[in-house]
């Protein structure tokens, strides 16, 4: 396991305020970014499928999140000239690698969230 100190030793300035690593971290670990990426980890999805499967996301937030993830090179958007327009979203190879690394974290959260959110018994 690598520590944050080791990462910073190899990449001076990593995860500091003005570093691009911080921007990417904000995009990937945002409330909706994680859920959209993991849903796309299941395969190619259309807008309506993502909207349905990412419970609670608004159209505005889905659009914003997808634009950011496409710009970051994690998601690919393919638009077909049909009526109505048909747009597919899928992970890029970089996005696939990221999701493969994120899934163990999500599994851990799923296993431990109930125990962590137990009300205080003071």
pLDDT in tens, 46-64: 999 999 999 999 999 999 9
Structural domain harbouring 91: 32-111
Task: Work out the average pLDDT over 77-102.
Answer: 93
Strand residue runs (E) in 1-122:
45-46, 75-80, 86-91
**12 inside domain:** no
Residue 6 maps to a domain: no
CATH number at 41 reads: 1.10.10.10
Distance CA 105, CA 10 (A): 24
From its phi and psi, is residue 52 left (phi > 0), alpha (psi between -120 and 50) or beta?
A: alpha
Structurally, the chain folds into a number of domains equal to 1
Give the integer Cα–Cα distance in Å for 35 and 106: 10
Token reading at 23: 């921007």
Per-residue pLDDT at 96 exceeds 60: yes
In a domain, 14, yes or no: no
What confidence tens digit (pLDDT) does each residue in 73-88 have? 999 999 988 888 889 9
Measured CA angle at 77 (ends 31, 67), to 5 deg = 40
Query: What does the pLDDT read at residue 120?
Result: 62
Whole-number percent of the chain with pLDDT over 70: 97
């Amino acid at each position: 396991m690598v520590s944050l100190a080791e990462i910073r030793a190899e990449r001076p300035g990593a995860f500091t305020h003005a570093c691009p690593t911080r921007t990417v971290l904000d995009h990937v670990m945002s409330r909706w970014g994680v859920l959209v990426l993991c849903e796309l980890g299941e395969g190619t999805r259309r807008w309506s499928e993502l909207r349905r499967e990412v419970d609670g996301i608004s159209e505005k937030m889905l659009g914003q999140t997808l634009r950011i993830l496409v710009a970051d090179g994690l998601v690919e958007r393919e638009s077909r000239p049909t009526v109505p327009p048909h747009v597919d979203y899928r992970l890029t190879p970089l996005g696939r690698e990221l999701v493969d690394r994120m899934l163990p974290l999500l599994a851990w959260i799923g296993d431990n969230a109930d125990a962590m959110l137990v009300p205080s018994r003071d």
